[in-house]
Amino acid sequence: TKTACNRLQSAQYKFFKYLGGQTFMSESTNVKEIKVVTADPSAIGLFGLAIVTLVAATQKLGWTDGVGLVIPWAIFLGGLAQIYASILDAKHNNTFGTTAFGAYGLFWLGVAMTWFMQAGVFGDGFVVDANQTATMYVGYLVLSLFLTIGALETNKVLFFIFVLIDFLFIGLSLSTFGIMEHGMHLLAAWAELFVAILSLYGAGANVLNKHFGFEFLPVGKPFGIIKKPTAAAQTKTSRA
């Protein structure tokens, strides 16, 4: 029986060889990885954040009037530029950058839509409750606090940008809820202005450091506070 089985397998092999099956059977599947080089989008993302916060801060501080000419920068730089940076960061497998730029990009698109609604662009049939906007600010504050923790191990410029964003959302949340309205409005305004200044520096530093191939403008090393547990520590924790 064993001999008959071997003869059958041999006959099948010869048949496949005759049909050209030898090549099919002997060739191994080659998997090729294609690496697509994508530039670091941090500069364009930070620049978008810088310009929209700079213009918006001038309105909050009373240096300019109205939000009519803030809206274009909210849509194109605060919104689309940061979303574009988020998409590129996703290609870099950078969860932190994807989340930060994507969330803040959508934030500014939402803010622009809010201003349109308050101006009656979509009609007067909407009931506008500022507490809903304040609740959204609280949600963004929570996200920003998480991102601030992550920025501890990125660089110091980015960390202080997030700290200022935290104060911005604290001021926006409380002032919109009507709590210490004037003082919290000023807190938000000045925090936003310094977000713009630091983001401009961060964008410039990112461009020049990448362009020259070394740290031409310092951005500060990570704090080194949060460290990945060693394998021994992880094993000890799992056993406990």
- Percent of the chain beyond pLDDT 70? 81
DSSP code for 214: S
Average pLDDT over residues 111-118: 92
Structure tokens at 225: 């506070």
CA distances from 141 to 168, 169, 216 (A): 9, 5, 33
Mean pLDDT of 61-65: 97
Residue-level pLDDT at 215: 96
pLDDT at 56 over 90: yes
- Mean pLDDT, residues 121-128 taken together: 80
pLDDT at 70 over 60: yes
As a whole number of angstroms, the distance between CA 188 and CA 87 comes to: 28
d(CA 100, CA 92): 14
DSSP collapsed to 3 states, 4-15: HHHHHHHHHHHH
pTM for the complete prediction?
0.82
Greater model confidence, 35 or 145:
145
Q: Greater confidence, 2 or 131?
A: 131
14-45 pLDDT, tens digit each: 655 555 554 444 445 677 666 667 899 999 99
Helix axis angle, 42-60 relative to 82-91, nearest 10°?
150
User: Position 209: which residue type?
Assistant: N
In this prediction, residues 206-210 reach a mean pLDDT of 97
Q: What is the pLDDT of residues 74-112, one digit of tens each?
A: 999 999 999 999 999 999 999 999 999 999 999 999 999
DSSP 13-54: HHHHHHTTHHHHHHPPPPP---PPP---THHHHHHHHHHHHH
Name 42's Cβ contacts closer than 8 Å, sequence gap at least 6.
Answer: 85, 89, 97, 202, 203, 206
For residue 224, pLDDT over 90 is answered with yes
The pLDDT tens digits for 185-204 are 999 999 999 999 999 999 99
Smallest CA-to-CA distance from 77 within 45, 119, 40, 43 is with: 45
Task: Check residue 27 and give its pLDDT.
Answer: 47
pLDDT tier at 13, thresholds 50, 70, 90: low
Structure tokens at 93: 């497998």
Highest mean pLDDT among 8-12, 104-108, 233-237: 104-108
Check if the beta carbon of residue 218 is closer than 8 Å to that of residue 72: no
- Angle, alpha carbons 221-44-62 (nearest 5°): 95
Q: Read off φ and ψ for residue 232, nearest 5 degrees.
A: -65, -40
Instruction: Output the six-digit token pair for 83.
Output: 């979303």
